[in-house]
Structure 1
Amino acid sequence: MDARTVGDLVDVVGSPPLRLHTAPAGPAVPVTEVLLYDAHAPLPDAPGALLLAVGVRAAAAGPLVRAAAGAGMAGIVVRGTDGPAGEAEAYGTALLTIDEDAAWHHVHLMLASAIGTRSAHGTGLGDLFALADAIAAATGGATAVEDPRQRILAYSTVPGQPVDEDRRQGILGLQVPGSVDNSAQVRSVFAADGPVRLPALTAGDLPRLAVAVRAGGETLGSVWVIDSGTLAPDAEQTLARGASTAALLLLRARAAQELARHQNTDLVRRLLNGSADASAAAHRLGWDAVRVAAFVPASAASVPDAERTSLRLLDVVRLQCEVRYGRHACALLDGVVYALLPAPGEHGGPPAPQHRRTAHQRHRQLAEDIVRRAERSLRVPVRAALGETADLGGVADSRADADMVLRLLHDALPVAAVDEVRPQVTLLRLAEVMSERRELRTGAWHRVLAADAEHGTDHARTLVSWFDAGCDVAGAARLLSVHPNTCRYRLKQVGRQLGIDLGDPDERLVLWLQLRTLAGLGGNAGAAEAGPAQGPGTPVSGVRG
C-alpha cells in the first residue's frame, strides 16, 4: 500500500478545512501517520508523521516546528493563518493550516482516515480479511467477522479447515442465515464479557467459538470461529486479542466511510454552487451529465422540528439513490435536499427523442417513489422538483431550475420537472426581473389598479380575463360570469378613462405581463384579487394555472 503524501492529504481532505501553507521539500513528501501534540509528553521520533499542534498558537509554533523537524516528521498543522512559515522553510518541514473554528478531533479523524483508506478491497475493510486469516491460522478454525446485523464483513480463506452449510450460505450471501436459534446465539455473545462456546444448532452444523467486538462500550460486531474439535488450547485468548484488533479496524473503516461521505457531500455542495472543477468532479463521480432533483417538506416552516425532518428526508433520498444507482450524490442546503441523478448519454450532443423521454421518465419515477416513501416515513407532505439535464459544469443552472419548480408545486402537483412547467417558470423569472428594474415596473398597470381601488371597478380582472380568453369578449364574459355587453363596456372604459390603447398589440402585451407577473393575476384568475407587486423570491400567485 503506497503512503499518502502531503499533497494527497490536501487533495483528499480539501480546502477548507486543510490548506498547504508551505512545503519546502515539495508536496510529494510521504505521510505515514497523524499525531496529536501533547505538551506534557516528550515528542516521539516519528519519521513521516504529521503533527497537529493542539493547544499551540500558530504565531508561537516556531519551537514546535523545530522539534518536529528534529523528530523526522513530515510536517505540522497549526490553527490560523499566521503560522511560522520562516521556521518551516528553514527546517524543511511542511506547514499546513486549518481554520480558527475547526475542531482538532474532526481534523484528526479526517487526516487519519485519509492516510488509512488505501486498502486492497477499497472499502476500508480489506485488513479484516487478513485478520480473519490470522485468527483462523492461530485458532485452527475457519473465521468470520460480522457486523451487529449479522452481515458478514470478512471471512478466512485458510485451506483445509472444516466448514458447515451455515458457513457456506453465509459467505455466498454475505449474511448469516436468519433463524430464531441464530439470533439467540448472537444475543448471548453480545451479552458476554468474553469469548463464548456455542453448540451446533443442527445435526449437520459444527459448534462455534465467538466473541463480541466492542469499543468504548459500543458493540461493533462479532468474530466467529468454527470449532471442529481441533481448536488450539489458547483459542479463546487468541480470539479475544483478535477482537481488539477487529475493533480498531472497524473504527478505522467507519472513519474512512465518514470521510468519503464528507468528501462526497462537499463535492456536491461545490457543484451546486458552481465552485467545483467540472472535469475533476466527473472523474471522481464517474458521471458526465446529471439532473438536479430537489426535495423539501411542504410548508417546512410549520413542520415541528424542521431541521430533524430535513435530515431524515436526506437519509431517505440517499438510500433510494444508492438502491437505484449504487451510490449517491446528495446534500442538504438551506432546508432543501438536493440529489444529482446521473443521465448517461444525455449530454454532449442532442440525444434521440426516445432516449430523452426514457431518461425523463426514469428520473421522474424515482422522484415520485422518493416522495411516497418519504411521506410514509416522515408523515408530512413532500415536494420534488427536477431541473434540466446538464454536464457537471452546469449543475448550478440545473439547481436553479429545480429551485424555481419547487416554488410552483402544490397539493395537486407535488412532483414536476422544469420542462413540464416551463411557461410558469418563465413567468416566475420574468416577475423577478421586472420587480428589480424600475423601468419594467412602471406602466399603465398602476393606473388600472389605482382606478379599481378608488372607484371599486373591476378593470384589472376584466383585462386579465380578456387576455386569457385570447381577446375574445364572449370568452372573457364567461370567465367573469357577466354579460358580454358588460365586459365590452368595461374595456371601453379602460380606453376612455385610463388612456390605454387596447388596439395596440405592444400595449396589450406589456399590460398583460405586468398584470400577470407584478400584480399576481392570471391563469383563470380573473377571480383573483389584485395585490401589490411581489419581490424577488416570492411565488407569483396565479402562475400555476
Structure 2
Amino acid sequence: MDTRPLGDLLDTLGEPTLRLLTAPAGLTVPVSEVLLYDAHAPLPPRAPGALLLAVGVRADEAGQLVGEAAAAGMAGLVVRGADGPGDGPVAEAERHRLALLAIDEDATWHHVHLLLAEAIGARPAPAGGGAALNDLFSLVNAVAAAVGGATVVEDPRQRILAYSTVPGQPVDEPRRQGILGRQVPDSPENTEQYRVLFASQSPVRLAALGEGELPRLAVAVRAGGETLGSLWAVDDGTLTPDADAALVRGASTAALLLLRARAAAELTRHLTGDLLRRLLEGTAEPDAAARDLGLAPDTPVRVAAFALDRTVSAPDGEQAALRLLDLVRLSCEARYGRHACVLVDGVVYALLPVTGEGGPERQRRLAEDIVRRAEQALRVLVRAGLGEVVPELAEVRDSRRDADLVLRVLGPAETVAAVREVRSRVVLFRLTEVMRAGREVRAGAWREVLAYDDAHGTDYARTLVCWLDAGGDMARAAKLLAVHPNTCRYRLRQAQAQLGIDLDDPDERLVLWLQLRTLAGLRGGASAAPPTG
C-alpha cells in the first residue's frame, strides 16, 4: 500500500486546501489512505495510517471523534470550521497524539478526498517494476538539477510517471495539478504541443499556454524507434546553457528505465498469473503462495470468473479474451494494487481478497463495473461469476468451481451473479451431471412417462412436473398448463393408472420430479428437452 509522510502531503497540497493545526507525533507520520466519516456507520476498528475527513462534523464538535480516530490507529483528522491553530479540538488531538488539520470553508469534501487520495498515490508502485520507477524519481531529480528547472517524465498517454522534488525550483499550476492527478490536463493546445514534440528528434521549446503558466523544454523518450514517453522541464528563464544536452542525456537514461520497468511489470504479471493458475489447479503451496501474493495466510478470498459470450468466434475470441484479461487485471490492480489474474481455457480468473465489512458486495459492484466497461470496449457480451468466499487460499479451488458453475447457469439476460444468488440452479445443474453419469439414477418411471406421451400423444410428463412444481396445488398446476383443474386431475389419474406411478409415495414423487426436471429438462409450463445418456 502506498504511503506518504504527512509533511509531504502538506507540501504538495498546501494552503488554503489543507492547513495544519497540530501534529504532536511529527510530520513524518505515514499516511496510507483517506476515509470519509459517516455518522450512521461505525469507524473501522483498525485503520492505521488513515486520514479521516470529518464530514458533517464542525471543528468545535469533533472532540469525541478525535478519540475514536486515535483508538483506530489513524494518522490524523481533517475538520472544517477551524480558522487558526487555536481552533478546534487541538488539546484533544495533542493528548491523543493525533494530527489535526483543517480545510477551507469553501472546499467540498469530495474534492478534498480526491486530492488527498491522488497525492497519497502519487508515488512509484512498489511492485511490477517498482525499482525501475524509483530510479525514475532519482533520474528526474538529477535532470532537474542539471537543467535548472522542475522536471517530469511521462508515458505516451501523458500520464506522469515521476516528478522532481528539487527545493526552490518554481512550478506553475498545470504542473501541480498534473502531479496530483498523475495526468497532464487535456486541452486542444496541449494536444498540438505533443504533436510537435513527438514529430521532433531533438528537444523543443514550447510556449506557455495561458496566463500564469511557464514555458517548457521537452524531448521525446524513444528506444529503437518506439516512443516510450517524454521528458519535460519547466523553463522560468533560468535554465542552464546546456539544458538541451542535459535533457537529451536524461531521455536516453529514461528510455532504459522505462524498458526495464515494462519488462519487470510483465514478468511480475506472468509470475503472479502462473501462481494463480497453480492455486486454481491445487498444485501450489498455499502459505508460500500467500507470501508471494502479499496476503496473510488466513485472508478470506474468493474467485471471480469472467467469460466472453460463447458466440464470439476464434480467432476473434482469442484476441478478445486477451483484451478482457488486460481489462480485468487493470481494474483489479486499481482496486487492490498488485494483483493475480490469469486466462485459462478462455475464462479470466481474478483472485479477490475479502477485507472489511461489505467486502463481498463491493466485489460484486467491481464485477459489474468490469463487465460494463468490457462490453463497451470489446463490443461483446461479457458474463461474470463470483465464487463463495473461502477462509483461506488452501480452499481457493472450491471458490473457482463455484465461479465456473455460476457462468454455466446464468440466464440469457443475466451478466453477473454470486453463487449464493443462484444456489438452487447450481445444485440442480450438479445433480443433472451426477444423474446423467450413473446408470442406476438414469433409470426409472420418467422414461416410461416420456415414451407413453410420445406413443399416445398425451401430455402426462408436463402435467406431472407442473403439479409437482405447484406443490400439489391443483389450481396452480392447471394455470401453468393453461387447462381446467378437472383436466389436470384426469391426466394425473390416468398417468397413475396407465404407468403404475404412486403419487402418494413422497420418495417416488421426489425422484420422479428430479428426473423430469434434470434429465428431461422440464419446467412448469415448458416443453420437454430430449433426455440424454
**Fold similarity call, TM over 0.5:** yes
- Per the alignment, residue 84 of structure 1 pairs with none
- Per the alignment, residue 67 of structure 2 pairs with none
Change (3 A) 1:438 1:140: same
Paired with 2:372 and 2:169, the residues of 1 have a C-alpha distance of 49
Conserved 8 A contact 1:213-1:247? yes
Q: Which moved more, 1:272-281 or 1:506-515?
A: 272-281
Paired with 1:120 and 1:423, the residues of 2 have a C-alpha distance of 41
- Per the alignment, residue 362 of structure 2 pairs with 362
- Per the alignment, residue 332 of structure 1 pairs with 343
Paired with 2:237 and 2:246, the residues of 1 have a C-alpha distance of 16
- Per the alignment, residue 223 of structure 2 pairs with 215
Change (3 A) 1:217 1:461: same
**Residue 302 of structure 1: how far off its partner (Å):** 5.5
Paired with 1:120 and 1:425, the residues of 2 have a C-alpha distance of 38
Paired with 2:480 and 2:189, the residues of 1 have a C-alpha distance of 72
**Residue 429 of structure 1: how far off its partner (Å):** 0.6
Q: Give the RMSD, CA atoms, in angstroms.
A: 2.8
Conserved 8 A contact 2:203-2:220? yes
Change (3 A) 1:359 1:442: same
- Per the alignment, residue 79 of structure 1 pairs with none
**Residue 266 of structure 1: how far off its partner (Å):** 1.6
Paired with 2:413 and 2:236, the residues of 1 have a C-alpha distance of 65
Query: Structure 1 runs of 4+ off > 6 angstroms?
Result: 117-121
- Per the alignment, residue 16 of structure 1 pairs with none
Paired with 1:171 and 1:475, the residues of 2 have a C-alpha distance of 66
Conserved 8 A contact 2:384-2:415? yes
Q: Which moved more, 1:494-503 or 1:124-133?
A: 494-503
How big is each residue's C-alpha offset from its partner over 1:374-402, in whole Å with a ceiling of 9 and x where there is no partner?
A: 23333333322221111222221111112
- Residue 509 (1) aligns with residue 510 (2): yes
Paired with 2:522 and 2:127, the residues of 1 have a C-alpha distance of 62
Paired with 1:121 and 1:519, the residues of 2 have a C-alpha distance of 55
SS at match of 2:202: coil
Structural mapping, 1:293-372, within 5 Å: 293-301=304-312, 305-344=316-355, 355=357, 358-372=358-372
Conserved 8 A contact 1:296-1:384? yes
**Residue 490 of structure 1: how far off its partner (Å):** 2.8
Paired with 2:381 and 2:487, the residues of 1 have a C-alpha distance of 44
Conserved 8 A contact 2:128-2:269? no
AA aligned opposite 1:533: T
- Residue 126 (1) aligns with residue 134 (2): yes
Find the partner of 1:279 among 268, 282, 287: 287
- Per the alignment, residue 379 of structure 2 pairs with 379
- Per the alignment, residue 527 of structure 2 pairs with 528
- Residue 236 (1) aligns with residue 236 (2): no
**Residue 430 of structure 1: how far off its partner (Å):** 0.8
The TM-score normalised by the length of structure 1 is: 0.68
How big is each residue's C-alpha offset from its partner over 1:5-55, in whole Å with a ceiling of 9 and x where there is no partner?
A: xxxxxxxxxxxxxxxxxxxxxxxxxxxxxxxxxxxxxxxxxxxxxxxxxxx
**Residue 248 of structure 1: how far off its partner (Å):** 0.7
Unpaired runs of at least 5, structure 1: 1-116, 346-354, 535-545
Structural mapping, 1:83-482, within 5 Å: 122=130, 124-202=132-210, 204-283=212-291, 284-286=293-295, 288-301=299-312, 305-344=316-355, 355=357, 358-390=358-390, 391-482=392-483
Conserved 8 A contact 1:449-1:530? no
AA aligned opposite 2:306: F
SS at match of 1:420: helix
Paired with 2:205 and 2:286, the residues of 1 have a C-alpha distance of 56
Paired with 1:228 and 1:360, the residues of 2 have a C-alpha distance of 52
Paired with 1:271 and 1:300, the residues of 2 have a C-alpha distance of 29
Paired with 1:176 and 1:363, the residues of 2 have a C-alpha distance of 30
Identity of aligned residues (%): 66
SS at match of 1:223: strand
AA aligned opposite 1:241: R
- Per the alignment, residue 105 of structure 1 pairs with none
- Residue 487 (1) aligns with residue 499 (2): no
Paired with 2:126 and 2:400, the residues of 1 have a C-alpha distance of 34
Paired with 1:484 and 1:118, the residues of 2 have a C-alpha distance of 71
SS at match of 1:503: coil
SS at match of 1:125: helix
The TM-score normalised by the length of structure 2 is: 0.69
Change (3 A) 1:322 1:300: farther
Paired with 2:398 and 2:127, the residues of 1 have a C-alpha distance of 37
SS at match of 2:502: coil
AA aligned opposite 1:335: G
AA aligned opposite 1:531: P
AA aligned opposite 2:197: V
SS at match of 1:388: coil
**Residue 177 of structure 1: how far off its partner (Å):** 4.0
How big is each residue's C-alpha offset from its partner over 1:205-260, in whole Å with a ceiling of 9 and x where there is no partner?
A: 44433211101111111222334444444332232222111111110011111111
How big is each residue's C-alpha offset from its partner over 1:333-380, in whole Å with a ceiling of 9 and x where there is no partner?
A: 2222222232125xxxxxxxxx5xx34432332222333322333333
Q: Which moved more, 1:197-206 or 1:306-315?
A: 197-206
Change (3 A) 1:477 1:186: closer
Unpaired runs of at least 5, structure 2: 1-124
Paired with 1:289 and 1:120, the residues of 2 have a C-alpha distance of 24
Paired with 1:457 and 1:343, the residues of 2 have a C-alpha distance of 54
SS at match of 1:500: coil
AA aligned opposite 1:308: Q
Change (3 A) 1:159 1:120: farther
AA aligned opposite 1:367: A
Change (3 A) 1:298 1:209: closer
Conserved 8 A contact 1:520-1:533? no
**Residue 124 of structure 1: how far off its partner (Å):** 2.5
- Per the alignment, residue 41 of structure 2 pairs with none
Paired with 2:223 and 2:156, the residues of 1 have a C-alpha distance of 13
Paired with 1:271 and 1:257, the residues of 2 have a C-alpha distance of 21
SS at match of 1:221: strand
SS at match of 2:366: helix
Conserved 8 A contact 1:131-1:242? yes
Change (3 A) 1:367 1:467: same
Change (3 A) 1:302 1:483: farther
AA aligned opposite 1:309: A
Q: How many residues align?
A: 405
SS at match of 1:129: helix
How big is each residue's C-alpha offset from its partner over 1:240-295, in whole Å with a ceiling of 9 and x where there is no partner?
A: 22211111111001111111111222222222222222222333242611222222
Paired with 1:280 and 1:161, the residues of 2 have a C-alpha distance of 47
Change (3 A) 1:192 1:464: same
